[in-house]
Amino acid sequence: MGGRPTDEEIVAGIAEALPVGVWVARAPGGEFVYANSTFAEIMGMAARDDVGLGEYAEPYAIHDREGNLYPEDRMPFVRALSEQRTVMIDDLVIRRTDGRSVNVRAYARPIFRGGEISHVVIAFFDITREVEGESRLRRAQRMEAVGNLAGGIAHDFNNLLTVVQAIASSLALEEDDPQRRSDFDAIEGATQSAVHLTRALLGFAGRGKNLAAPVSLQELIHSLSGIFERAIDARITVRQELGTHRWIEADHSQLEQVVMNLVLNARDAIDGAGEITLRLRDQGPDVVLEVDDTGPGVPHAIRDRIFDPYFTTKQRGDQRSTGLGLATVYGIVESHRGDVQVLDAPGGGARFRVRLPAIAGEAAVRSPQRARRAPIVPGEGLVMVVDDEPAVRHGAERALEAIGYRVISARDGEEALERFAEHVGEVRAVLLDLCMPGLDGQAAFRRLRETDPDVKVLLMTGYALNEEAQQMLDDGVAGFLAKPFDVGGLSSAIAELLA
């Protein structure tokens, strides 16, 4: 039979069972004395007895949060010796050999004997979740502020683009000279390029989310495979490990943006030959998409800014990136109640991980709507245009008159009610802006319906179809038209409304 454990054995057993890392070294040289197993779990290696004072950072891969090796004169052991008191340091980052980074808070306490420090005991706490949570909160707050600005800018640009596109397409419709028609087509083409930029801004701001539908990420990625081949250097291999068939509730076209932007970002990170891996898997209630590349990886010092709009370190040939790709990914994923992270890929390179909530049960495939140039549909009768922007009203009036309608207009909701009351039974359709000062689109629609329960309203906004617009559709608005629009899009929307 074994004897009773000694006090030393009891103390050692307690230290071994502690959920914090414990490390003890002699003073003043820092010779290793003891470390428990939790210390090894946090550090990713066992304690070393071949290092001492002034040589801790490199062997233990201790860095600061900017990614630099931690200064030896600020190490917990050194500060406890020099300050002769318990010190706390919480900006240590351990770069483990398995590729994982661990944020550590350390308490270093000097042990005195006869008035001299004989040992230093350091307790290590893994605070990775705490640091990541704080980082996500700061980033979310920063992104919300920038997103509000970006969304407002995109909305205003869409108003301006509406004027350009509506008038240019109206003039092209009336023009007989082939050269001038070609010029108007060029204007429309340039406008479309600007539209893509505003849509990216709206995606980043989380204000471009359309009606959600069941989406299979696996099928979406398969459908993009041909585009990957054309957009990526032949020296780069694209691998797909798509291990889930679960569905998510999402906007199909925006998820295409997410996947394409992540793949193009991975492409830009690789100089010459390399490999991109798209991995799809289940994790609890979520579907996880990971895009790995074999590039140099993302430095820790800039990871907090990598999703900021217009922040970029990329350049391909003579063209510098716009810096909106990852910002758009962030905005779209956040608007779909998901999250996105940048990590170290095993073996080097970067890993971008997107997590999105899955839906339960079977989901039917819904074919995504593809953008196409709408045909011109002539019409007749009286249409009312309601918008607080004079230029937008003029552009819409010009386009409607070009296809045969008569037009009256109003600058806000109050004036719309007055003008509609003057023409009750005569107005065939109302083209109504969503965002207006005073009586906005939603309130104006309710009041118009009180005057005429059968009023046909085509809602327009520069924010794309969002929750507020969807609520109006649910309440009885007959149609939706995103700004900017051309004559074809406007004529088709009104023809469908009146049909």
Q: What is the mean pLDDT of residues 405-410?
A: 93
Residues in the chain: 499
Predicted pLDDT at 335: 80
Q: What is the pLDDT of residues 421-462, one digit of tens each?
A: 999 889 999 999 888 888 888 899 999 999 999 899 998 877
The fold for domain 213-359 equals: Heat Shock Protein 90 (3.30.565)
Specify whether the CB–CB gap between 288 and 246 falls below 8 A.
Answer: no
Backbone φ, ψ for residue 429 (5° rounding):
-155, 155
The more confident residue out of 248 and 208 is: 248
Predicted pLDDT at 231: 82
Predicted pLDDT at 370: 39
Predicted pLDDT at 484: 80
Distances (CA, A) of 383 to 43, 134, 263, 439, 475: 71, 53, 46, 20, 21
Confidence of residue 198 (pLDDT cuts 50, 70, 90): low
Confidence of residue 295 (pLDDT cuts 50, 70, 90): very high
Predicted pLDDT at 249: 87
- Helix 252-269, helix 325-335: angle, nearest 10: 140
**Domain chopping of the chain, boundaries:** 7-126, 128-208+374-499, 213-359
Q: Please state which of the ranges 68-77, 200-209, 458-467 shows the lowest mean pLDDT.
A: 200-209
Nearest CA-CA partner of 16 in 1, 38, 31, 41: 38
Predicted pLDDT at 365: 36
User: Tell me, what amino acid is at 226?
Assistant: G
Q: What is the mean pLDDT of residues 33-61?
A: 93
Predicted pLDDT at 201: 58
Whole-number average pLDDT of the chain:
83
Predicted pLDDT at 212: 62
pLDDT at 372 over 60: no
Confidence of residue 204 (pLDDT cuts 50, 70, 90): low
Distances (CA, A) of 150 to 8, 202, 310: 63, 7, 11
Q: What is the mean pLDDT of residues 193-209?
A: 59
Those residues with Cβ within 8 angstroms of residue 289's Cβ, 6 or more apart along the chain or in another chain: 217, 258, 259, 262, 278, 279, 280, 353, 354, 356
Question: For the domain bounded by 128-208+374-499, which CATH number is listed?
Answer: 3.40.50.2300
Written as six digits, the tokens of 243 are: 């291990």
pTM (2 decimals)? 0.45
Those residues with Cβ within 8 angstroms of residue 17's Cβ, 6 or more apart along the chain or in another chain: none
Strands across the sheet with 62-63, in order? 32-35, 21-26, 116-126, 101-113, 87-95, 62-63
pLDDT at 321 over 90: no
Confidence of residue 108 (pLDDT cuts 50, 70, 90): very high
Other C-beta atoms closer than 10 Å to the C-beta of 478 total 17
Predicted pLDDT at 398: 87
pLDDT at 2 over 50: yes
Predicted pLDDT at 229: 80
**Matching fold, domains 128-208+374-499 and 213-359:** no
pLDDT at 80 over 80: yes
Q: How far apart are CA 431 and CA 417, in angstroms?
A: 13
Q: What is the pLDDT of residues 125-143, one digit of tens each?
A: 999 988 888 777 776 666 6
Q: How far apart are CA 481 and CA 182, in angstroms?
A: 26
Confidence of residue 320 (pLDDT cuts 50, 70, 90): very low
pLDDT at 397 over 70: yes
Confidence of residue 109 (pLDDT cuts 50, 70, 90): very high
Predicted pLDDT at 428: 93
Those residues with Cβ within 8 angstroms of residue 52's Cβ, 6 or more apart along the chain or in another chain: 25, 29, 30, 31, 32
Those residues with Cβ within 8 angstroms of residue 344's Cβ, 6 or more apart along the chain or in another chain: 99, 100, 101, 297, 350, 351
Q: Please state which of the ranges 53-62, 239-248, 308-317 shows the lowest mean pLDDT.
A: 308-317
Q: What is the pLDDT of residues 4-30, one digit of tens each?
A: 767 667 766 777 878 899 999 999 999
Predicted pLDDT at 17: 79
pLDDT at 366 over 50: no
Q: What is the mean pLDDT of residues 241-253?
A: 84
Those residues with Cβ within 8 angstroms of residue 267's Cβ, 6 or more apart along the chain or in another chain: 231, 232, 233, 236, 276, 293
Predicted pLDDT at 281: 92
Distances (CA, A) of 412 to 3, 158, 212, 254: 91, 18, 31, 32
Distances (CA, A) of 139 to 143, 351, 413: 6, 19, 38
pLDDT above 90 covers what percent of the chain? 39
pLDDT at 74 over 90: yes
The fold for domain 7-126 equals: Beta-Lactamase (3.30.450)
Written as six digits, the tokens of 24 are: 């003890």
Confidence of residue 470 (pLDDT cuts 50, 70, 90): confident
